[in-house]
A = this chain, B = another copy of it.
Amino acid sequence: MKRSERIVAMTYHFKENPRKLISLPYFVDTFEAAKSSVSEDIDIIDEMFQSLGVGRIETTAGATGGVRYIPDYDFNNGRYFIEQLIKVLEDAERILPGGYIYMSDVLGDNNYVRQIGKVFGATFRDIEVDYIVTVATKGIPLAYAIAEVLNVPIVIIRRDPKVTEGSTVSINYVSGSSRKIQTMALAKRSIPEGSNVLLVDDFMKAGGTIKGMENLMEEFNATVKGIGVLAEAEDEDEERRVDDYISLLKIQEVDERTEAIKIVPGNYFDEK
């Protein structure tokens, strides 16, 4: 097999298996190539991935060593993407009664969701998590897209426990926006004791739902290592119940009367 052919196959394989350790002998055997040739191929891919701003190939030496594709997403590309997304969302047609913004189309479009997954994937790149936890419904594609980058499973908290979940642990919590008592349930066997988790949701206002997720995680003796929300909005009536989170969008104003929407990049873009 020629170098160019090996490089197609290896690039595809890395992209398909982010964060998975691949032993060099696997490539050597698959391509019937010399170890030195395979190493050179990997160097070319590594350099090109870095110059494209999509991550790098990490090499671990030793008997249990190998290579691993660690995806990344260039901060400026992320910021540019979020600015484009803001333009899409700042459309008066999206205003819903109650001052909400219709976002279901964006949250169902893999072209947006994959990018959002990459930004969060880069954000939480160095945090070791075992599970990404979200609550039904709209945050699920988002959680899945992040899971594809971090290569960990997702776990879905439900409002209504179903027979197909087996026995569940449930808690009650007070929703910030409606001030109603609501229920969250999660299958007992979904998260082993002592796991590290990342909480993900599409939208946060007073933070009641995220707070509820945190409380539910305590029931599983799980440690919350990070919180990511796509969009946050200020709640004039109530103080936020969650301090430490990453948001990509901040909804500052939705005025039904004047049809004005004001969205700015979220706190992820503050620090740098």
Contacts and interface: CB of A to CB of B under 8 A. Distances in A.
Given A4-B4, A12-B11, A164-B96, A108 B141 contact: no
A92 interface: no
Interface string A96-127: 11101111110011110110000000000000
Contact of A164 (B45, B103, B147, B148): B103
A7 interface: yes
A151 interface: yes
Interface residues of A, number: 58
A175 to B, nearest CB: 11
A181 interface: no
Give the interface SS of chain A, mostly helix, strand, loop or mixed: helix
Interface in A24-58: 41, 44-45, 47-49, 52, 54
B48 A153 contact: no
Contact of A147 (B98, B110, B165): B110
Contact of A105 (B104, B137, B190, B203): B190
A102 B148 contact: no
B5 A153 contact: no
Interface of A: 3-5, 7-9, 11-12, 15-16, 41, 44-45, 47-49, 52, 54, 96-98, 100-105, 108-111, 113-114, 136-138, 140-141, 144-145, 147-148, 151, 153-156, 158-160, 163-166, 187, 189-190, 203
B48 A9 contact: yes
Given A110-B147, A137-B136, A148-B114, A105 B3 contact: no
B97 A163 contact: yes
Given A110-B148, A140-B137, A148-B110, A100 B164 contact: yes
Pick the most buried of A41, A47, A96: most chain B CB atoms within 10 A of its CB. A96
15 contacts: A4-B41, A9-B52, A11-B11, A11-B15, A12-B49, A12-B52, A15-B16, A101-B164, A104-B165, A104-B190, A108-B156, A108-B190, A110-B148, A144-B144, A164-B203
